[in-house]
Amino acid sequence: MSALNARYIFLKRSTTHSVAISHPNRYRWVTWRPGFVPLDKTLADVAWIGFHHLRFFSNPGYCRLFAYDLGKVVHRSTIFPRWARYPFMGADDLQIGNVWTHPQYRGRGLAKEAFNKIITDNAKTGRTFWYIVSDDNMASMSAATAVGFTPVGTGVRRKRFGIKLFGFFDITEGPPVIQEAPPVIQQVKTAAT
C-alpha cells in the first residue's frame, strides 16, 4: 500500500501525567534543537532546519531526541510543531513522529521511554501531544497507548495542489476500534515414546 493510500490512526495526549519506565538510566538521551548544523546529518534534517529558520512552524518546538547505547544511536524521535502538514493541531501543540528504534533494540521499551521524555521535557499548560501511526503498525500503536495516548480518529494523507510533497494529514473519521494482534501460538513437537 502506498503512503498516500495508507490509513492512519491519530492519537493524542495531554501533559498531565507520565507513566513509569523500567530502565531510565540505561541509555544516554540527547535532545537536539536546531542551530545550523544537524546532529544527524541527513537531507531531511537540513530541510527541517530550514523550515524552522523560515518560521514555517507555529511555535519553536521542533527538535529531535536521540538515545545512545555505548556511543551508538539506538533510537530517535522527531518533534514537530503545528504547520501545514498537520492542520488538526493547535498552535502550541507538538507531534511526535519519525520514530525509529534500531532493530536489535526493539521490544525493550525505548519508544515508551522516548515518549515520556519528550512529553516531560516539553510540557506546557494546555499543550497536546499528537502521534500519527499507520493502522497496521500495532507495535507502535501499543507503545503510544501504553504511555497514555488515546486514539481520537482515523484518516489519510492527502496531496495539496496535486503534489505529494505538499501533502497533509486529514482526520476523516472518529475514534477507531483498535483490535489487539492475536497471540502467537507456538506448536511444540514431542517425541513419541
Vertex 183 angle, CA 180 and 187, to 5°: 165
**What is the rounded average pLDDT of the residues 74-91?**
88
Q: What is the pLDDT of residues 144-153, one digit of tens each?
A: 999 999 999 9
**192 pLDDT higher than 70:** no
**100 pLDDT higher than 90:** yes
**96 pLDDT higher than 50:** yes
Give residue 37's pLDDT. Answer: 61
Q: How confident is the model at residue 189 (pLDDT cuts 50, 70, 90)?
A: very low
Query: Measuring CA to CA, which residue among 72, 77, 78 is closest to residue 28?
Result: 72
Q: What is the pLDDT of residues 61-80, one digit of tens each?
A: 888 899 999 889 999 998 98
- The per-residue DSSP string of 61-80 comes to --EEEEEEETTEEEEEEEEE
Residue 18 CB neighbours (<10 A): 14
For residue 57, the SS3 value is coil
Show the cell assigned to 183: 497471540
The amino acid present at 173, given as its one-letter code, is E
**193 pLDDT higher than 50:** no
- Helices and strands per DSSP (H, E), number in the chain: 3, 8
The domain at 8-173 falls in which architecture?
3-Layer(aba) Sandwich (3.40)
Show the cell assigned to 53: 529558520
Give residue 16's pLDDT. Answer: 65
**What is the rounded average pLDDT of the residues 8-17?**
84
Residue 36, Cβ density class (10 Å: 0-12 exposed, 13-18 middle, ≥19 buried)? exposed
Show the cell assigned to 98: 519519525
Q: What is the pLDDT of residues 28-49, one digit of tens each?
A: 999 888 765 656 666 666 776 7
Could you give the C-alpha distances from 88 to 111, 117, 131, 156, 160, in angstroms and in order? 24, 24, 12, 12, 15
**What is the rounded average pLDDT of the residues 173-193?**
52
**171 pLDDT higher than 80:** yes
Q: How confident is the model at residue 5 (pLDDT cuts 50, 70, 90)?
A: low
Give residue 58's pLDDT. Answer: 66
Query: Is the pTM value of this prediction over 0.75?
Result: yes
